[in-house]
Amino acid sequence: MGQSLLNNYCLTVKSCCFCISLKSGTIIIALNGFVLSVTITAMYFYGQTILEKFGVGQWAAVIIVHYFAVIGIVLCALHVVLLSAALTYNEELILLYLWFALIYFFLDSLAVTFVSISAILKGMVVSGIILFLCFILYWLFLYFYVFPVINGYRKNIHTIVIVLA
């Protein structure tokens, strides 16, 4: 079921950046994602004051900071999983990564929407709107560029397995 949903709704490409193989592109995405995950995890140390400046209450800021710490650690692990899946041609691990990304999208949407609304209510309308627009651009980039590379690689692995069987 998971594969059929991804086959119907997730885009695919034949190469990464028009000239890099999908395997190399997936490895690059995994390494860049790991660095980004470490940055998200670092929010635990300095994120509370930033969130409070955006108008988020103290308790809500503590919850969001801990959320980012946990999600950052999980994302670090998942990018390691994606890296190992790319190196070992493991389709199931790539599926795990893609489905977790979908779950993460919904959780991230809640957190960013909450922070954006808090900023707007505090009178920081431009900051709240810019934050929300950056969030939308980030996820559009993931959906139209990163996910198609990873899903294309997953489909290539699936094709290789069928041919070998």
pLDDT tens-digit map of 5-45: 666 666 777 887 778 899 999 999 999 999 999 988 888 88
- In a domain? residue 7: no
The vertex-35 CA angle with 92 and 38, nearest 5°, equals 95
d(CA 62, CA 81): 29
- In a domain? residue 1: no
The two structure tokens encoding residue 164:
């070998």
Name the stretches of the chain with pLDDT < 70: 1-10, 159-165
Residue 127 has what pLDDT? 86
Residue 59 has what pLDDT? 86
Q: Which residues form the domain of 109? A: 22-164
Residue 147, Cβ neighbours under 10 Å: how many?
Answer: 22
Residue 79 has what pLDDT? 95
Cβ contact 157:94 at 8 Å: yes
- In a domain? residue 14: no
Total domains in the fold of the chain: 1
Token look-up 């692990």 returns 77
- In a domain? residue 4: no
- In a domain? residue 15: no
Residue 112 has what pLDDT? 86
- In a domain? residue 6: no
Residue 3 has what pLDDT? 63
The SS3 assignment for 18 reads: coil
d(CA 124, CA 106): 24
- In a domain? residue 127: yes
- In a domain? residue 124: yes
Residue 29 has what pLDDT? 92
